[in-house]
Amino acid sequence: MAERLDRPVLDVSSLPTVHFGTHSLTWWGIMGMMAIEGTVFVLMIASYFYLHSRSVEWPPHRNPPDLMWGTVNLALFLISAIPSEWYRRRARKGDLKAVQIGLVLVSLFGLAILGVRYLELLHLNTDWSIDAYGSAVWTLMGLHILHLVTDLVDTIVLTVLFFTSLVEGKRFMDAEENAAYWYFVVGFWIPIYLVIYWAPRWLHA
Amino acid sequence: MITTKVATETQLTEEELRKALQLERIWQEPRGFVGWFKAVHHTTIGMRYVVTAFIFFLLAGLLAGAMRLQLAFPEAHFLSNDKYNQFFTMHGSTMMFLFAVPMMFEALSVYLVPLMVGTRNIAFPRLNAYSYYLYVFGGIMFYVAFLCNTGADRGWFAYVPLSGPDYGVGKRADFWAQLITFTEVSALAVAVEIIVTVFRLRAPGMSLNRIPIFVWGQVIVAFMVIFALPGVVLSSTMLLLDRTCGTQFFNPSVGGDVLLYQHLFWWFGHPEVYLIFIPGTAVVSTIVTTFSRRHIFGYLVLVLSLVSTGFIAFGLWVHHMFATGIPQIAESYFTGASMMIAIPTGVQIFCWIATMATGKVVLRTPMWWAIGFFFVFVMGGLTGMFLASVPTDLQVHDTYFVVAHFHYVLIGGAVFPLFGAIFYWFPKVTGRMLSEPLGQLSFWLFFIGFNVTFFPMHLVGLRGMPRRVYTYEPGMGWTLLNQIESSGYILLFLSVSILLWNVYRSLRRGRIAGPNPWHAGTLEWATTSPPPHYNFLHLPTVNGREALWDAAPNQPVVVGLSEDSRQILTTRSLDAEPDGREELPSPSIWPFLAALATTAAFIGSIFTPWGITIGSVPVAITMIGWFWPKKQAADRRRAREIWQND
Amino acid sequence: MMILAVPGFPGNQTSLNPVGPGASHIEFEFSLIFWITCAVYCIVLLGLVIAVARRRHSLETIPEPLATNEPTERLTRRSVTAAVAVTVVLLFIMLIGSFQTGRALGDMNQEDALPIEIYGHQWWWEVRYPNNEAYKIVETANEIHVPVGVPIRFSGTSRDVIHSFWAPNVSGKRDLLPGYKAEFVWQVDQPGRWRGQCAEYCGLQHAHMSFEIVAETKEQFAEWLSNQAKSSVQPSTPQATRGQQVFMTHACVLCHSIRGTSAGSRNGPDLTHLASRATIAAGTLPNTVGNLGGWILNAQSIKPGCRMPPNQLSGSELQDLLAYLETLK
């Protein structure tokens, strides 16, 4: 219903209500969260190297983590970017089917990655209570697991939502932002993988 | 809440009256007991932050009184050493984590920023509610522990190994570390909300160079929160892990390092004091503008000073660690940076004085508090020079000299502006004026009492009195100074009591304020006092830095937003051109339930490492409930969607 | 700078009464900063008062905001710029002063310094004078004798939590951190007993963790050092012999060592030359027979939370023990 006023007006009634990227408020919220969690990761990585600078042998008296499962997960993460990017672009067009398929695929990838993550933990070759090195490796891993699990739960909930009658424009915005957050989880795995698996090998040499 | 509902000065047309009633229906807060827990409006939550933070201020103040009584006599037995150690830790931790940041940043920004930028609510309103509940639950946990003789007792920064598993016996340090977790999540949530509100919800026409300085200050603080808090997130998490799970981060015998804790803590700890001080400057800028009756002098350099202070603040942290034996090159750098930060601060001070000198100063209570800020904060800032320079720092660090310094900068830089803010915005929040004579009385009592209490601390520190001592020996030459300090407390106590009496009395009998009793320029004064739940009948557009002072004779208003849903206007981040429309979430019980679940998980993890893993299940359930959309609302929105053209 | 030391002030444990080059350099820097900041404070606040204290106005007389005019704004811009420029210059002066002082303190490091080791404990100071010849090593507690005019190279660490070694008359403080070895050079030029106190919160008895730097002539120091290196005297009277027995058969031996006996525990202070020290309990009490007796019977009533438990001793046992301890000069 239009208002009639005796003063000049700025009529915004034709502005979009479904918009993506920087136009969306929750997109900014997700970016804020990435900045926060990213800073936590950066400081944790810095702490790892600080502890390294204070020690003589690294890792102290034991082998670095076995390479295999971490590298498998790296591959899984990177490949999962394909369906993720695909459904993200389709979400901007409101393509329901594509988003449904894409979300299911990424959920499956997430579950597989979680399984492989369990195998990674079995092959870290250290325990958090033995020394500071073990504590740093497990905590760095633990922080990433926390994000992996929360993003997986988010993705699964969103997937379920996309198969209900509650789908509307806002949910497509959520889908795009969910993909962005998955990139954060994937993106930070790269430096963390390098720190946990390769830093002890490079530094030792 | 005892207020008066007052109509705007101009008479509403029938059309406008209908709109007002309709908006009130949509935006109102739920009533009743359960309804209290569903509230999501920023003024509601903002007031809760203000009241809660002030209660913590009073509690911490009472603890200080007991400490001053104990220190008034050498080898006194009023408080045992164990009690005193709990009292000073509770005092510092309460002031820093439960009062200063929650009040100066969260309370003030949550209440004022959405009004000042001209929108109807803060971004992410349910997150805002959640952040408040977490804050208050964390504070309650902290004090319940204290009442059970498990109060934190390792100092407000709880260095290891003293707070670690070997020497921090019992659960005291665990409650301290979890307090950090509660308050940090709360502050981080509000930081994101403020950034999004300021960048996306500004009134059309409020381009970057027209954002009020108050809002600039708060948004810069919000950015700082995002990058600073992770330091203490990690240090407190590592401490908890060492204490409960057997990690070895701080155990030197197996590669751990005690300075790792200090670096991570002070990475947060130094910006933390600017999180407290910058909102103080934001308030001072606002008060000085209004009570000098002119636009602030040097808007651009003031904003640049705030931004550069925000950046430089991250480069100072090692000056808290000068006594630990860091390499000389690092010492030189951190000394330089610590002195350099005085430049943007100096710029602000000169601009404020310039504003007053070229304006016409009106001396009402808020302005007195601002003037008091100058006298007190500038002294504190200058004593900071002794701490920035390594050689002198090595003499005054960890003595009462530094206690004097930080009380001068924190009380001068935050509490004085805060009291000014209370007198300034009380009329807006309640619709009534505070008593001017009582206001002046509490100002002078506080100003005198503060200096009597804290000035001698410079001297007693130079005379060798270390900090955090529960008593001292006679014959050290410290007794008289301590007694003077303790007697100053009485004046401070009286002053705050009079302030509280002033508030209580004015709520019932204060003069009706009207929408703009100070003839100020920012947008919060463009609506009724107190503001309705929809904030503005017509969303405004803006023509200059002081929206009301610079408004055109026919300043346009925004129309076209849906009147039967919580629809708001989003604008572009740089020039505030209209961009889109979004619907903000309505009241809900889920943030409260999610906060309960989170609290259970956090507190549970103090007692068992499974606390987080098991506790995360109710958290996940409540958060899913929070985000799960309602069918009716989804259908309504789908029917009216307008998609952006890509 | 002693003007800040208002009457009634003993001049001990203060940075304002420097007795060595370290504290003197720092006191110079302190004065520099003090006078500059004093002047800045007075000028800035004067500016504020002048800006405010002109004709008073009320909101009723100025309901509309004032317009600004360009000439005034330009003059104001120039004034603010000038003020900022002066600020920068003053900051640079203090910065350079700080670096110069830091360099002067660093230059105190000399090759022929006397080495002394300090170990921080909750809540006392373990002091060790190392020597290549084992029989000349001295171990004592809380009272640190040094020769006047000779650089001392302290090295220190903590045996438990972080402590901070601070005797302000002599120099700035240095934290003693577990896992780190601190090294710093001090020098005392004025003879006397200079008090220090722990300056990093370390728990229940942080308030009672003091020490003394006893600066004496080279000869007096050499005499003291050689005496301290000696083993304990054997008891020569029956009472002292009984007292030694009391010591050996009670909890004392669990924590304290007395060289020349079988008591060798290093948990607590070395008591070989207890009677030569002026204070007990880390500077908390003068070392008199009465105080020592009270301390032994119930240290918790004097320094609650300290690591020394109360001891059940009969009156005669206590007297014998004290007689023995009094011989440990």
Q: What are phi and psi of A21, to 5 degrees?
A: 65, -135
Q: 3-state class of C261 per DSSP?
A: strand
pLDDT for the residue numbered C191: 96
Q: Is the pLDDT of residue B619 over 50?
A: yes
Q: Is the pLDDT of residue A169 over 80?
A: yes
- B578-605: pLDDT as tens digits: 999 999 999 999 999 999 999 999 999 9
Distance from CA of A75 to the nearest CA of B (A): 28
Task: Provide the CATH topology of domain A25-55+71-204.
Answer: Four Helix Bundle (Hemerythrin (Met), subunit A) (1.20.120)
pLDDT for the residue numbered A5: 63
- B349-360: pLDDT as tens digits: 999 999 999 999
pLDDT for the residue numbered A6: 73
Dihedral (C-alpha) B585, B586, B588, B591: value to the nearest 10 degrees? Answer: 30
* Average pLDDT score over chain B: 95
Mean pLDDT of B431-457: 97
pLDDT for the residue numbered A39: 98
Q: Which CATH superfamily is domain C238-325 in?
A: Cupredoxins -  blue copper proteins (2.60.40.420)
Residue identified by tokens 């958060």 is B623
**Dihedral sign, Cα of residue C159, residue C163, residue C169, residue C171:** positive
- B333-344: pLDDT as tens digits: 999 999 999 999
Q: Is the pLDDT of residue B262 over 90?
A: yes
Structure tokens at B415: 């509490």
CA distances to B219, B524, B573 from B194, in Å:
6, 16, 13
Which residues on B lie below 8 Å from C175 (Cβ)? 323-325
C56 touches chain B (CB under 8 A): yes
What number of residues does chain A have? 205
pLDDT for the residue numbered A4: 54
A9-11 vs B557-559, strand pairing mode:
parallel
In 3D space, the residue among B531, B528, B641, B533 whose CA is nearest the CA of residue B587 turns out to be B533
Label residue C274 left, alpha or beta by phi (over 0 means left) and psi (-120 to 50 means alpha). alpha
Q: Is the pLDDT of residue B252 over 50?
A: yes
On whether the CB atoms of residues B387 and B338 are closer than 8 A, the answer is yes
CA distances to B380, B401, C86 from B383, in Å:
5, 9, 18
- B400-421: pLDDT as tens digits: 999 999 999 999 999 999 999 9
On whether the CB atoms of residues C77 and B332 are closer than 8 A, the answer is no
Which residues on B lie below 8 Å from C30 (Cβ)? 386, 392, 395
- Quickly count helices (H) and strands (E) in chain B: 22, 4
Mean pLDDT of B177-181: 97
Mutate to test the interface with A, among B10, B160, B238, B247 (most CBs of A within 10 A): B247
Q: Is the pLDDT of residue A127 over 60?
A: yes
- B464-496: pLDDT as tens digits: 999 999 999 998 999 999 999 999 999 999 999
Beta bridge partners of C144: C213
pLDDT for the residue numbered A85: 97
Give residue B4's Cα distance to chain centre.
Answer: 27
**Dihedral sign, Cα of residue A65, residue A66, residue A69, residue A74:** positive
- A66-75: pLDDT as tens digits: 999 999 999 9
C164 touches chain B (CB under 8 A): yes
User: Cα(A39)–Cα(A183) distance, rounded to whole angstroms?
Assistant: 16
Mean pLDDT of B170-175: 96
Chain-chain contact of A36 with B631 (C-beta, under 8 angstroms): no
CA distances to B318, B326, C204 from B160, in Å:
17, 18, 15
Q: Is the pLDDT of residue B177 over 80?
A: yes
Considering only CB atoms, A12 lies closest to which of B123, B260, B578, namely B578
Which contiguous run of DSSP H or E holds residue C232? Answer: none
Structure tokens at B309: 């202070």
CA distances to A67, B378, B611, C199 from B459, in Å:
61, 18, 48, 17
- B209-236: pLDDT as tens digits: 999 999 999 999 999 999 999 999 999 9
For C:264-323, CB contacts with B below 8 A are 284, 304-305
Show pLDDT as tens, one digit a residue, over chain C (329 residues): 555 555 556 689 999 999 999 999 999 999 999 999 999 999 999 999 999 988 778 888 888 889 889 999 999 999 999 999 999 999 999 999 999 999 999 998 777 899 999 999 999 999 999 999 999 999 999 999 999 999 999 999 999 999 999 999 999 999 999 999 999 999 999 999 999 999 999 999 999 999 999 999 999 999 999 999 999 999 999 999 999 999 999 999 999 999 999 999 999 999 999 999 999 999 999 999 999 999 999 999 999 999 999 999 999 999 999 999 999 99
Considering only CB atoms, B559 lies closest to which of A11, A157, A171, namely A11
Residue identified by tokens 């952006």 is B644
User: Cα(B240)–Cα(B238) distance, rounded to whole angstroms?
Assistant: 5
Mean pLDDT of A99-125: 97
Considering only CB atoms, B578 lies closest to which of A15, A47, A165, namely A15
**Dihedral sign, Cα of residue C217, residue C223, residue C229, residue C231:** negative
- B123-140: pLDDT as tens digits: 999 999 999 999 999 999
Domain edges within chain A: 25-55+71-204
Chain-chain contact of B642 with A5 (C-beta, under 8 angstroms): no
Give, as one character, the DSSP assignment of residue C130: -
- The burial of C178, by beta-carbon neighbours within 10 Å (0-12 exposed, 13-18 middle, 19 or more buried), is given as buried
Task: Report which residue type is found at C327.
Answer: T
Q: Is the pLDDT of residue B1 over 50?
A: no
User: Cα(B464)–Cα(B237) distance, rounded to whole angstroms?
Assistant: 35
Report residue B9's pLDDT band, with 50, 70 and 90 as the boundaries: very low
User: Cα(B424)–Cα(B112) distance, rounded to whole angstroms?
Assistant: 12
Distance from CA of A110 to the nearest CA of B (A): 17
Residue-by-residue DSSP string for C190-205:
S-EEEEEE--S--STT
Q: What percent of chain B is helix, strand and coil (3-state, nearest 5)? A: 65, 5, 30
Question: Nearest chain B Cα to C3, which residue?
Answer: B459
pLDDT for the residue numbered B8: 42
pLDDT for the residue numbered B609: 84
On whether the CB atoms of residues A58 and A204 are closer than 8 A, the answer is yes
Considering only CB atoms, B521 lies closest to which of C25, C65, C87, namely C65
pLDDT for the residue numbered C15: 93
Mean pLDDT of B316-326: 96
Residue B135: CB atoms within 10 Å: 29
For A:55-114, CB contacts with B below 8 A are 55, 60, 92-94
Chain-chain contact of B385 with C94 (C-beta, under 8 angstroms): yes
- B294-304: pLDDT as tens digits: 999 999 999 99
Alpha-helix runs per DSSP H in B72-168: 81-93, 101, 108-117, 125-147
Distance from CA of A143 to the nearest CA of B (A): 10
Domain edges within chain C: 21-108, 238-325
Question: Nearest chain A Cα to B193, which residue?
Answer: A29
Which contiguous run of DSSP H or E holds residue B429? Answer: helix B416-430
In 3D space, the residue among B566, B521, B570 whose CA is nearest the CA of residue B542 turns out to be B521
On whether the CB atoms of residues B486 and B72 are closer than 8 A, the answer is yes
Give, as one character, the DSSP assignment of residue B11: P
Which residues on B lie below 8 Å from A161 (Cβ)? 628-629
Mutate to test the interface with B, among A96, A168, A203 (most CBs of B within 10 A): A168
Chain-chain contact of B643 with A5 (C-beta, under 8 angstroms): no
Considering only CB atoms, B264 lies closest to which of A32, A47, A161, namely A47
Mean pLDDT of A41-59: 94
Cis peptide before B102 (omega within 30 of 0): no
